[in-house]
Amino acid sequence: MKNKITTVIALAALAAAALQGCQKWEEYNTDPYGVTNELLSADFNDVGAYFPTVEQGIYNNTCLWAWEMQTAQNLTADTWCGYMQAPTPFQNNINPSTLFLIRSWVGGMWDLTYRDVMSPIFTSIQSRADEYPHFYAVAQIMRAVAMIRVSDSYGPVVYSKYGTGDTGASFDTQKEAYDHVFEELDEAKAALKAYMAEYPDASPFAPFDLLLGGDFSAWVRFANSVQLRAAMRIVKVDPALAKQKAEAAVADGVLEDGTVSVVGKGWVHPLSTLGTDWGDCCMNAEMESILLGYEDPRLPKFFKPVNDADVKAAGYEYKGIRMGINIDIKDTYGGHSFPNFSSGDAGLIMSSAEVWFLRAEGALRGWSGMGGTAQELYEKGVQTSFDQWGTGDASAYLQSDNMPAAYVDLKNPENSIPADSPYMNKVSPKWDEGASNEVKLQKIITQKWIACFPEGMEAWSEQRRTGYPVLFPVMVNESQGVFKDDDNVKRMTFPESLEWTGQLDEAVSKLGGADNGNTRLWWDTGTPNF
């Protein structure tokens, strides 16, 4: 068989080439008015033009075709983490919500990321790393962000050896992938710092940057924040390395306010399309239970009021749908709360609130240099999230003993969850210094789960790592014996494209288990947190 990795790159490159039409790359890569290559090079267009695709590619929304993000994330991770649920009975209600992993859907995260992130970086940016080390450094950070998402979805990935032509050795185990993430981030930070030291007033990346406006110092803080996120992910399998990388990241400077979000150049938020436009995305019952119970002022920022007369008559302004239930027709739940996003809203990749919660967990674990006690950092995280969503002072909220509310399904009462259910989350926003570390962690992760909205990929990963928030079990299980009813999906199955290129066996060999959704990833030990 010919070189496997070259096959993947060739397929990705062809897809990327086809993509150019929908992304309007002609404004960058054609020369209708006699613009010379020298002028393009002088303005960095010859390398910078590829970055909007890479940055939007993190969100799986490069072509602004919402259905790509829908199958890659919204009907999978966004659902499995407890954020959202479709009112639509896709595939006769045999779909990821009812624990049946449709291979062509769950493969989307893999195929789109290699098409829109890995291929453009390799073919158009990495080759100019010596000429533009500062641009390549940004690409390395984006590649690390993307490959964390892909590896946390599947396990083994083609990452450190991408494009090298090492036949038979193209896949990294997840441990190797995380090691490479840390290497890439260190290299990128060093390159950006060197460039800023030599050219302190230059901002060559600004015309191309949809995330941070071309501010290289902000990119260094983002890289450190990603390092902190990755460090916490591996805390159960390599606590010493996790501590080392987390402490180093915070010491070097992480995000403390604002967000890293993609916007501009024709960006359309996919949740606006999937919710209001198509009616295929509503609030999840988990979100309703926690936000209504907490009387959380972020609820109307996250979701729109219901458009169902019966639900309104029952006294509910907001209503979610439980994952994994019997849905006969779309109209049954179609009037429940849609995500509250407009087309031009930015797509969240990382918030500073998440970073404060990561630091809070670090302090809880006894790591040095986190910048405060676990309680102080936890409360800072809540206030930062309130600031992000414009909901004012969080002081009263942080003194609240409110607990998540029972969930009532007004259409099918058998789907309701009573307040005394073992699947009900039983922590309040108020910090309790006398509680166990496990309870404290549950408070931190529950608030981080809220603050990460709507970035379901991160929320799903952290829910798997910690078990928080506790999720309602499915009522309809179409997994054909792969899952028990109270199981949640632990990974996506590998995409069909690996079968086409003959790489599936190698990928599975690096997984350490069956290629199904119930095989735990390397960092997901399923053991208690403390």
Place of tokens 């990452």: 159
At 150 the pLDDT is 98
At 267 the pLDDT is 87
Lowest mean pLDDT among 30-34, 145-149, 178-182, 518-522: 30-34
Count other Cβ atoms within 10 Å, centred on residue 497.
19
Question: Which parts of 200-302 are beta strand (E)?
Answer: 259-262, 282-283
Place of tokens 């073992």: 422
How far is the C-alpha of 490 from the C-alpha of 80, rounded, in Å? 9
Which pLDDT band, with edges at 50, 70 and 90, does 31 fall under?
very low
Angle at 526 between CA 520 and CA 528, to 5 degrees: 165
Stated pTM of the model: 0.92
At 20 the pLDDT is 39
Lowest mean pLDDT among 165-179, 180-194, 220-234, 290-304: 165-179
Residue 240 CB contacts under 8 Å (≥ 6 apart), including other chains = none
Q: Is 530 exposed, middle or buried (0-12, 13-18, 19+ CB in 10 A)?
A: exposed
CB-CB contact of 239 with 366 (8 Å): no
How far is the C-alpha of 97 from the C-alpha of 83, rounded, in Å? 12
CA atoms within 13 A on the CB side of 203: 12
Is residue 5 pLDDT above 90, yes or no?
no
Q: What is the mean pLDDT of residues 44-64?
A: 86
How far is the C-alpha of 196 from the C-alpha of 217, rounded, in Å? 8
Is residue 472 pLDDT above 60, yes or no?
yes
Phi and psi at residue 449, to the nearest 5°: -60, -45
Is residue 221 pLDDT above 50, yes or no?
yes
What single-letter amino acid sits at 375? Answer: Q
Pairing of strands 347-351, 259-262: antiparallel
| Three-state SS at 262 | strand
CB-CB contact of 287 with 339 (8 Å): no
Is residue 164 pLDDT above 90, yes or no?
no
Phi and psi at residue 251, to the nearest 5°: -60, -35
Q: What is the mean pLDDT of residues 293-297?
A: 98
Is residue 217 pLDDT above 50, yes or no?
yes
30 alpha-carbon distance from chain centroid: 34
Sign of the four-CA dihedral 16, 18, 24, 25: positive
Taking CA atoms, 157 is separated from 83, 182, 442, 496, in Å, by 26, 15, 30, 14
Lowest mean pLDDT among 80-84, 266-270, 279-283, 389-393: 266-270
**Percentages (nearest 5) of helix, strand, coil residues in the chain:** 50, 5, 45
Q: Which two tokens stand for residue 501?
A: 């290129």
Lowest mean pLDDT among 21-25, 66-70, 272-276, 452-456: 21-25
Count other Cβ atoms within 10 Å, centred on residue 26.
10
Residue 456 CB contacts under 8 Å (≥ 6 apart), including other chains = 73, 74, 77, 78, 79, 80, 81, 83, 84
Average pLDDT of the chain, as a whole number: 91
Q: What is the mean pLDDT of residues 221-243?
A: 98
At 119 the pLDDT is 94
Which pLDDT band, with edges at 50, 70 and 90, does 528 fall under?
confident
Q: What is the mean pLDDT of residues 436-457?
A: 98
Query: By percentage, how much of the chain surpasses pLDDT 70?
Result: 91
Q: Which two tokens stand for residue 404?
A: 């998540």
Lowest mean pLDDT among 6-10, 257-261, 294-298, 450-454: 6-10
At 59 the pLDDT is 84
User: Which residue would you say has higher pLDDT here, 188 or 67?
Assistant: 188
Q: What is the mean pLDDT of residues 306-315?
A: 97
Lowest mean pLDDT among 31-45, 226-240, 409-423: 31-45
What Rg, from alpha-carbon coordinates, does the chain have?
23
Phi and psi at residue 163, to the nearest 5°: 85, 0
How far is the C-alpha of 126 from the C-alpha of 132, rounded, in Å? 9
Is residue 38 pLDDT above 70, yes or no?
no
At 166 the pLDDT is 54
The β-bridge partners of 283 are 84
At 169 the pLDDT is 52
Which pLDDT band, with edges at 50, 70 and 90, does 34 fall under?
very low
Which pLDDT band, with edges at 50, 70 and 90, does 232 fall under?
very high
At 436 the pLDDT is 97
Q: What is the mean pLDDT of residues 250-275?
A: 94
CB-CB contact of 275 with 339 (8 Å): yes
Nearest to 467 by CA among 422, 510, 434, 416: 422
Q: Tell me: the pLDDT tens digits for 348-387?
A: 999 999 999 999 999 999 999 999 999 999 999 999 999 9
Count other Cβ atoms within 10 Å, centred on residue 422.
8
